[in-house]
Structure 1
Amino acid sequence: MKEFYTFGWYASKISPHLPKKVFQPVPSRLFGGLAYLIIAISCLVVISLLNLHLLWNFLISVVLGFSFAGLGFLGHEILHGTVVRRPWLRDFLGAIAFWPLCTGPKLWRKWHNSSHHVHTQDEELDPDAWPSLEKLAKSRLLRWVYRIPFAIRAFFAFSALTITFTLHSIRMLFYFFKDFEPKNRKVVFWQFLLPWATWIGLLFVIGFEKWLFAFFLPLLIGNFIVMSYISTNHRLNPLVPVNDPLANSLSVTVPKWIDVLHFNFSYHTEHHLFPTMSSKYYPLVKEHLKKMWPERYHEMPMGKALAALWKTPRVYYQQRELIEPRQGNICGTLGNGLDPTRIQHRKVEVEQELSHNFVDSAFKKVVKHK
């Protein structure tokens, strides 16, 4: 993909073809959240008050984990203002929905709405973007991580999806905290602290064994479900100089019933075009995207996207390609030569030193195409 267009450019082309109702909030989405909330509270009460067999507690934990993820997807939608528009009500409901995942509404809107959406796949400005080879060379931690063989690293990377959302949320708190006005910092801090205090307090009330099933295991499951989507949203796409959703985003396909349970979170390109539109209407947006720009639009089944993530490196080389630094293997990104059904790597030769000041012997070279 050689030319880029802004999300506003695409939106201006599609908007005239959409009914006016799609730009209105959809409060009825809260019924789904209420169902998840009732299920979650019921599961917590059952685990806390009854002495069930471990197998039953495990099965209830799975239901809780799915509920945590479902509430997180709804919280994402609420905090974009697509369910209710009043700021205080939006933040209150968003806080409840994100309570299981321990993320506060003010931090989320700063991190996700104001930074990720505005600067999607910008290496410097998008807090969710993966690093380039140059950034890798500047980080001791990343250089250490990339000494680990690729197969082992891929296994642990996928295992880490069970904790990634939680860890990244904590990192974002420290990353953005100084950007908030002093009067808002206390609010951000308490929005972060209160959910954790609730869950840690539950530990002392019901005991460690029940707490594992009531919170810890569901949190791992919720993390994994949420990150299975988030990891496919952009990580197969290139870094871009222009925030072009058809270049930097991927929509995945899942069974319809899963879309219902997950509030159409799979429609990610559509979301980046119209972040303040209820995801209820994203199938309609998708129809227009596939009619107007079929050669630019990226979608694939969730399973295929996750398999492609397993097989490809996560370090960017010259923005449009991905490189495995140890072996010098390079593959394309979506729109730039990547075929998810047949991922091919090509070797590159060492050309010159990237830096002799801070890069160790394993990363002292920059690669160049043969």
Structure 2
Amino acid sequence: MKDLHSFGWYAAKLKPHLPKKAFNPVPTRLWGGLAYLLVTVGCLLTIGMLDFNPFIYIGVSLVIGACFAALGFLGHEILHGTVVRKAWLRDFLGAVAFWPLSTGPKLWRKWHNLTHHVHTQHEEHDPDAWPTLERIMRSRLLRWVYKLPLPVRAFFSFCSLSLQFSVHSLNMFVVYLKEFNPKKRRAVFFEAVLPWISWIGLLVWVGPVKWIFMFLIPLLIANLIVMAYISTNHRLNPTTEVNDPLANSLTVTVPKWVDVLHFNFSYHTEHHLFPGVSSKYYPHVKKLIKEHWPDRYHEMRFDKALLALWKTPRPYHNRELIDPSSGNVYGTLGNGLDTTKIQSKLEEKVNNTKEFMTTISEQKGKKRASKYQ
């Protein structure tokens, strides 16, 4: 792996080449959010107040789910302070945008802005980093899961994308609630619970059948869209001790119209370099990165990135990817992964997975024995 630099090191070199207006908030982004909000409300009322063929409901659910996801992308931008700067307005608008995903603004800023962005791809401190082989082998359930063949795990992993954001958000609520100032915990709790109260209230109003089309199916669709992006952001990149966005982040490429609909969420390396700059200017940031460090920058077509995720295992081992069921080792981006022909490093096949598991068991045995000494 090449010498690593912090995101601040890169930002300091590129900042003089960006226009000053790039560092100002861009409130016009809210017009897109308003459009999504109006479409969402219109679709919810259509299902709630009118009786149609269920196949029509499915089509409307797809539209609602797409709007839920897009609002989440806008909420992400709002809560980075690149749309409005006033704290109360930022949190209010962020709460509205994240309402469908039931994630509160205070929790998001703690989990995403202050932890993930500061410790990106650090195997211990990044809450979004995929676990290492050592951590996986300490769990009996995960040891069983990772005995399954890679294609089987890949299938269920991709199916789980429709749930991952909601499940992870709930887990982050449990993890970080105790870290908030006691005076703020009530507000954090309220922000997390209030959206669910509204969705449960919707269930009471329309009944379970329509609720499935108005909220459950759209939520699954939104999870799938959001996690399709998030899963490509870092999971093909290595873990890093230094928070180097050019090493630990991936920008995916999508058609221009998709970038418009999704507020340029595909520009992820650019976002980690300048989280305080509106995504409106990320194409310009990308151009500058490729001019300065073309050999360090990682970008990939979105569909190819998803295919690479399907073909590679997720546990990390020495900054590479390892398949515990076979012991095969795969490279990471910038560290031997050839996305044009994905295959394991046969000459580096790890045959000591059982030995590793034995070591973990011995460590657990010593801990248990120490309790009785």
What TM bracket, shorter-length normalisation? Answer: over 0.9
- Residue in 2 aligned with 1:368? none
Contact 1:237 1:250 in 2 (8 A): yes
Query: Counting helix residues as a fraction of each chain, which structure ranks higher?
Result: 2
Mean Cα displacement is larger for which, 349-358 or 295-304? 349-358
Contact 1:78 1:90 in 2 (8 A): yes
What fraction of aligned residue pairs are identical, expressed as a percent? 63
Deviation at 1:341, TM superposition (A): 1.4
SS at match of 1:45: helix
Unaligned stretches of 5+ residues in structure 1: 361-370
SS at match of 1:322: strand
State which of 348, 351, 366 in structure 1 corresponds to 2:350: 348
- Residue in 2 aligned with 1:367? none
Matched residue pairs, number? Answer: 359
Deviation at 1:355, TM superposition (A): 5.9
- Residue in 2 aligned with 1:187? 187
Deviation at 1:228, TM superposition (A): 0.4
Contact 1:69 1:225 in 2 (8 A): yes
Contact 1:107 1:188 in 2 (8 A): yes
Please say if 1:157 is aligned against 2:157. Answer: yes
Give CA deviations for 1:77-103 in whole Å, capped at 9, x if unaligned: 000000000010000000000000010
Contact 1:250 1:268 in 2 (8 A): yes
Give CA deviations for 1:52-79 in whole Å, capped at 9, x if unaligned: 1111111000000000000000000000
- Residue in 2 aligned with 1:112? 112
Give CA deviations for 1:137-156 in whole Å, capped at 9, x if unaligned: 22223212212221111100
Q: Give me the whole-angstrom Cα distance separating, in 2, the residues matched to 1:22 and 1:295.
A: 25
Q: Give me the whole-angstrom Cα distance separating, in 2, the residues matched to 1:42 and 1:327.
A: 51
Q: Give me the whole-angstrom Cα distance separating, in 2, the residues matched to 1:125 and 1:109.
A: 16
1:62 maps to amino acid: L
Give CA deviations for 1:295-338 in whole Å, capped at 9, x if unaligned: 0000010000000000001000102x100011011010000010
2:325 maps to amino acid: R
Q: Give me the whole-angstrom Cα distance separating, in 2, the residues matched to 1:273 and 1:113.
A: 13
SS at match of 1:163: helix
SS at match of 1:338: coil
Q: Give me the whole-angstrom Cα distance separating, in 1, the residues matched to 2:40 and 2:50.
A: 15
Unaligned stretches of 5+ residues in structure 2: 363-373
Contact 1:137 1:359 in 2 (8 A): no
Please say if 1:270 is aligned against 2:270. Answer: yes
Q: Give me the whole-angstrom Cα distance separating, in 2, the residues matched to 1:164 and 1:280.
A: 27
SS at match of 2:27: coil
Q: Give me the whole-angstrom Cα distance separating, in 1, the residues matched to 2:119 and 2:245.
A: 11
Please say if 1:137 is aligned against 2:130. Answer: no
Deviation at 1:125, TM superposition (A): 0.3
Mean Cα displacement is larger for which, 217-226 or 143-152? 143-152
2:54 maps to amino acid: L
Q: Give me the whole-angstrom Cα distance separating, in 2, the residues matched to 1:147 and 1:353.
A: 15
Supply the RMSD in Å over aligned alpha carbons: 1.2
Q: Give me the whole-angstrom Cα distance separating, in 1, the residues matched to 2:7 and 2:299.
A: 17
Q: Give me the whole-angstrom Cα distance separating, in 1, the residues matched to 2:357 and 2:255.
A: 48
Deviation at 1:201, TM superposition (A): 1.1
Q: Give me the whole-angstrom Cα distance separating, in 1, the residues matched to 2:290 and 2:159.
A: 34
Contact 2:11 2:273 in 1 (8 A): yes
Aligned ranges 1:64-79 → 2 under 5 Å: 64-79=64-79
